[in-house]
Every structure is written in C-alpha cells, then in structure tokens.
Amino acid sequence: MTKTIYKRVLLKLSGESLMGTQGHGIDPQRVGDYARQIKELVEAGVEVAIVIGGGNIFRGLSGAAKGFDRVKGDQMGMLATVINSLALSSALEAIGQPAQVFTAIAMVPIGEQYTKWRAIEAMRQGKVAIMSCGTGSPFFTTDTGSALRGIEVEADVMLKGTRVDGIYTADPEKDPTATKFDHITYDEIYSRGLKVMDMTATVMCKENKLPIHVFNMDVYGNLARVVAGENIGTRVTP
C-alpha cells in the first residue's frame, strides 16, 4: 500500500464487529485481522484514531429497556467500550504497532484521560489513538462520540466500518430488493430515514463538513482500499 488520499482518519468500529463468528464477546481472530489492517495504514503514513462501540458486551439503551437506570446503563456501556479498546490496543502492540488508549472519563492507569492535543500528539508519534467511553456523557451513542472525536482531532474523514458494504435504500439483510448508494448526502440520509448513524452524529458531521465513508470492514483489505481511494462502500458528503 503506497498511495493514500487521507492523512488522518477516524475509524469507527462497532462493538458487534469484534464478536466475529462467536456471537458474543471478543473474537481474537477478528481483532487480530483488524489490527493488521490498521498497522498497514500507519506504515503507509496515515494517522489513525479509533472509536469502538460496546454492543458486544453491553448496550445502555437495551439495558434501560430491561429496567436498568438509563444513566447507569450508559455508563456500563462506556466501560464496555474500554474493554474493547484494551483488546484492540493489545492486538496492535502484539504485532509491533504502538497504541494509546484514551478515556473520556478519568480511568488511570487503564487509559489516559482524553484531550484533543494528547491524541493528536500520539498519532504524530506513530501511535494509534484509541478513544473510549464515547463522549463521556449518558444519552449519547458512540456514533456521536466518533463524530465528536473526528471533528476534534481534525480527521479528514470518518471511516465507518460495518458488516455491510455501504448504505442501502433499506436494510439489505432484511430486504433483498435494497440497492446500494455509491454516494449520498447528509440531507438524503435524513429525508429517507436511513439508519446510518444516529441523527445527532449525522448533523454534527454535516455542520463541521466531516465526510463519512461506510464500508465492509469484515472483508480483509477493504480498509486499505478505502484509504487508497478505491470506489467501494458509500461516501457521505454535503
């Protein structure tokens, strides 16, 4: 991998993606595959920041539906993102790629408390900056957390790695007639009611002119293809 169209990226990964074929928890094979792809980007000169969800361990909104206090449920979800972040950082370091876990709430010595400047400094030093706990506040998703962090660290793009190969007119796993967009605007996402990210995250990206690229992260090599400018997935712009 030699050519890249981005200098700094924010990679958003879902917690569910770490389950692999297990159906729960963290699949070491899947995390290892992700780590190798991320290392390739750093070696190509790309600065990488990452936000991971926690849905493979605990999802605050689902917990609230089952009787948990919403604030405590969301805090439990934040802790789940820390576990996933530690797993990814461990996998990266095992293959020789330095990584730094940042937390939105004080959690020393597990991770360093996040600031924009420390995260950027880590990336400039060749480390992968893994930013956990979402925004650090309840009632906000990790989609919103990734939009916020991407804007703060001045990323060129948010890369949203999913298990489908882009944005469709409907859920392709449920509707076989769904068709994929190569490109779509933020306003179209809203007007069509598409479930790409939560609306707060989408509006933040629109207002701060942060493009989004949705692609299938589970296909090995797709991350490098997106960063090299290949026409895969779906690109979201104004």
- What is the DSSP pairing of strand 128-132 with strand 180-181? unpaired
pLDDT for 20: 86
pLDDT for 227: 96
pLDDT in tens, the chain (238 residues): 568 999 999 999 999 999 988 878 999 999 999 999 999 999 999 999 999 999 899 876 677 777 889 999 999 999 999 999 999 999 999 999 999 999 999 999 999 999 999 999 999 999 999 999 999 999 999 999 999 999 999 999 999 998 889 999 988 888 889 999 999 999 999 899 898 888 999 999 999 999 999 999 999 999 999 999 999 999 999 8
In a domain, 1, yes or no: no
Q: Which residues constitute the domain of residue 180?
A: 8-237
In a domain, 2, yes or no: no
In a domain, 3, yes or no: no
pLDDT for 176: 86
Q: How many whole angstroms separate alpha carbon 63 and alpha carbon 72?
A: 9
pLDDT for 60: 67
* Residue 153 and residue 8 in contact, taking contact as beta carbons nearer than 8 Å: yes
Number of domains in the chain: 1
Residues 6+ apart with CB under 8 A from 149: 10, 49, 51, 114, 119, 131
Q: How many whole angstroms separate alpha carbon 136 and alpha carbon 106?
A: 10
Q: How many whole angstroms separate alpha carbon 17 and alpha carbon 23?
A: 10
CATH number for the domain including 47? 3.40.1160.10
In a domain, 76, yes or no: yes
User: Which has the closest alpha carbon to 46: 96, 101, 2, 99?
Assistant: 2
Q: What pTM, to 2 d.p., does this model score?
A: 0.94
